[in-house]
A and B are shown apart, each in its own frame.
Chain A
Amino acid sequence: MATLEIKNLHARVAEEDGEQILRGVDLEVKSGEIHALMGPNGSGKSTTSKIIAGHPAYEVTDGEILLHLEDDDFGDLEIPDDARTWNLLELEPNERAALGIFLGFQYPAEIEGVTMTNFLRTALNAKIDEREELLFGEDDEEEEEEAGYDTSPMEGNVDDGEVGVAEFQKLLKEKMDLLDMDEKFMQRYLNAGFSGGEKKQNEVLQAAILEPSIAVLDEIDSGLDIDRLQDVSKGINALRDEQGTGILQITHYQRILEYVEPDHVHIMLDGKVVKSGDASLASELEDKGYDWVREEVYEAA
């Protein structure tokens, strides 16, 4: 079981006189749990998610983000004792991802010329390679010669990586079925021309393929119609139920929480988590609004 532990996280925009956005965030998400992170616009929810993933636009000024791993987190792969706790802030974004952190984007990039299949298979193989390197310090020799001339922007490098093309196609098809996604997506360019809903489905699909320990989903529910919301919710529940992924779901709305029932609900205000509770907190918030939280918090203070 993996645990993502955020302690007293302070961060600002990484530029001269950059605005301070996070002012001491504390959060803990374990594998298999679903957390909802709610809060008004500008409270720091999205920033928190980007900093977990390692976005270069923010600078952490205080606090830490730790990832604790346990024996069974990477299936049969044995995790050395000295590689069980990681300070994410010292790792590159791709290294964080390799250790099981996933960020579902609010606005996923549209990338022309790179097919879904190529992208996802490359990502999966890169994850496997990088993870081994991090855990066992193996400097994978194959990586250097990866240059290979058999690479193609359409299909990717055919012979490269742990997971071959055929095996990957099978895996992809399986996951797409689960999400009720059309197979035609496989040969399309990454998010290019996708509708808002399709992009969000694709984020969940990517999580299903990469099997993260902790998935941070930034407003995965925005811009979804009710059918798509149900598909996406089904996908998120499957991540938890079938892969044991811990979910940190950032949302403005109570709506998705009817389909993806959170074990814990947190409310952010002004760069801090100010209130936590169980699923009933979300309903209460829906009734009373953020002003209620604000009053309660600041009066108590």
Chain B
Amino acid sequence: MSAQLPANLSAETVREISDARDEPEWLLETRLEALEALDELELPDVIQTPGRRWTNLEALDFESLVDPLNQADETTRESPEGVVVLPFTEALSEYGDLIEERFGSVVDPQSNYLTALSAALFTTGTFIYVPEGVDAEDVKIRAEMNSRSLFSHTLVVTEKSSSVTILEAVESGDSVDDARYFSNLVEIDAGENSYVQYGSLQNLDEETYTYSLKRADADTYSTVNWIEGNLGSRLTRSDVETELNGEASETKIVGAFFGHDDQHLDVNARVWHKAENTTADLVTRGVLDDEARSVYEGVQDVGRDAWSTNSYQRENTLMLSDQSEADASPKLIINNHDTEASHAASVGQVDAEDLFYMVSRSIPEEQARNMLVEGFFVPVLEEIAVDEFRDDLEELIAARLR
């Protein structure tokens, strides 16, 4: 990759970050290897349609966006009893071995240029550990980004027959002039028969470029449900992925986005069926206003050994403005015919007959439109387990409409 990096991005810088956090040798090594790999790695693939490359990651000016030694965030973590929710700096002393074993096992730091950059430079993030048999609800992590650039890494490990619901919310704190860069890697290692719902709400200011990769490894009989909410940022590249590696494992990838002004949203949901009797349901609903653009890719990959697979995908984009643009590519790859699958995507405007129906009942047109848009998001809202997350998302949607 030939991206221009800041002059002070060196092994020295990475050592300084790692030293300041008093990290073990293995983590420093992981960081240094990621740094070294940058030369070889490519940016993540983006959707191309004839004559058009939808998301221009090459244009990101890392030289000015990335300031490795000046990362600042204010993060609060609420943890119910029985579950470990700690920043890595605190978690390493007690859970060092476990973290060493699992860190980077789901999201390979060297997946692409941006993951490697993130692994080399991350200074915030959370380690969540749910011991065997523990049921934990409402883990809440709220992060405020207070610097030009911020790199975050989160690792969730759930042991056998445990369950947890998580909300991660990210927003901008201190205002920094000019553009910013936020990078967020999340990996979930879901143990046998465990249940995880990971909800993410990104509402960064519209000067921020956001890259996020979330990936889960679902063991036998486990369920990993993602809820991905994107309202903020100037440009968002979000990938949410589950590997169904265990028999009878399940996943839902539920997404909501609402872009306005000239926001750009590149959202992707992917699932790999790699074992028997696995189930996936991908549901994304997006709304675009003003000159906002969205590009969606959904992939259901049914592997050769994935007998008796159920896999469903739906994506709907609602355009509130003639100037907004959307592209959707639902992809279904089937290598095992013992599969029940569907995939569909639609892009459209508020239905004129629905609107007339409501207006004919005295509801003013704009209010009727807002009700329809809020109703459009309900299938996503209904999936959310953490009440505070649902309330926040509803509130942000309502605020954006008015």
Contact = CB atoms under 8 A, between A and B. Distances in A.
A147 B402 contact: yes
Contacts of A111: 354, 357-358, 372, 375
B116 to A, nearest CB: 41
B360 interface: yes
Interface stretch (A74-82, A93-101, A272-280): A93-101
Given A53-B360, A94-B359, A114 B365 contact: no
B379 A112 contact: yes
A206 interface: yes
B375 A94 contact: no
9 contacts: A92-B359, A92-B365, A111-B358, A113-B379, A114-B372, A119-B371, A123-B361, A130-B362, A153-B381
Contacts of B353: 109
Interface string B169-207: 000000000000000000000000000000000000000
B378 A113 contact: yes
Contacts of B357: 105, 108-109, 111
Interface string B39-53: 000000000000000
A151 B374 CA distance: 10
B312 interface: no
Interface string B344-385: 000000011110111111111101100110111111010000
Size category of the binding interface on chain B: 20 to 34
Interface stretch (B122-130, B155-163, B320-328, B392-400): B392-400
Contacts of A266: none
A151 B361 contact: no
Nearest to B396: A149
Contacts of A210: 361-362
A154 B367 contact: no
A199 B275 CA distance: 44
A146 B377 CA distance: 20
Contacts of A84: none
A193 interface: no
Contact of B378 (A105, A112, A123, A124): A112
7 A-B pairs closest in CB distance? A113-B375, A113-B378, A127-B362, A109-B357, A123-B361, A147-B402, A153-B374
A152 interface: yes
B371 A114 contact: yes
B270 to A, nearest CB: 26
Interface in A111-138: 111-114, 118-120, 122-124, 126-127, 130
A226 B372 CA distance: 34
Contacts of B356: 53, 55-56, 93, 109
A102 B361 CA distance: 7
A122 B395 contact: no
Interface in B9-30: none
Nearest to A99: B362
Contacts of A102: 360
Given A122-B367, A122-B371, A154 B362 contact: no
Contact of A109 (B351, B371, B374, B378): B351
A103 interface: yes
Given A93-B356, A109-B353, A113-B376, A152 B363 contact: no
Contacts of A92: 359, 364-365
Given A94-B363, A126-B362, 15 more contacts: A94-B359, A97-B359, A97-B362, A109-B358, A111-B375, A112-B376, A113-B375, A114-B371, A119-B371, A120-B361, A123-B361, A123-B362, A126-B363, A147-B402, A149-B395
Contact of A97 (B352, B360, B398): B360
Contacts of A147: 398-399, 402
Most buried by B among A103, A126, A127, A206: A126
Interface in A135-183: 146-147, 149, 151-154
A152 B370 CA distance: 11
A151 B362 contact: no
Nearest to B353: A109
A54 interface: yes
